[in-house]
Amino acid sequence: MTTIVLATGNPHKVTEIEAALAPYHFDIKLQTAYFSEEVEEDGLSFIENAIKKARYASKKTGLPALADDSGLEVDFLNGEPGIYSARYAEGYLGQPASDRLNAQKLLDELEGVPYKDRKACYYCAVVFVRHALDPIPIIGTGQWCGEILMEPRVNYGVGYDPIMWMPDYFKSAAEIPLEIKNQVSHRAQALQNVLTQLEQATL
Q: How far apart, in whole angstroms, are the C-alpha atoms of residue 116 and residue 167? A: 13
Signed CA dihedral, 95, 99, 101, 105: sign only:
positive
Q: One of 27, 42, 68, 69 is an active-site residue; which one? A: 69
Give SS3 for 86. helix
170 burial class (0-12, 13-18, 19+ CB within 10 angstroms)?
exposed
Q: How far apart, in whole angstroms, are the C-alpha atoms of residue 158 and residue 153? A: 13
Category of 154 on φ-ψ map: left (φ > 0), alpha (ψ -120 to 50) or beta: beta
Query: Amino acid identity of 44?
Result: L
Q: How far apart, in whole angstroms, are the C-alpha atoms of residue 134 and residue 57? A: 13
Catalytic site includes residue 69: yes
Q: How far apart, in whole angstroms, are the C-alpha atoms of residue 139 and residue 136? A: 9
Give SS3 for 119. strand
- Point out which residues pair with 145 in neighbouring strands: 121
Residues belonging to the active site:
69
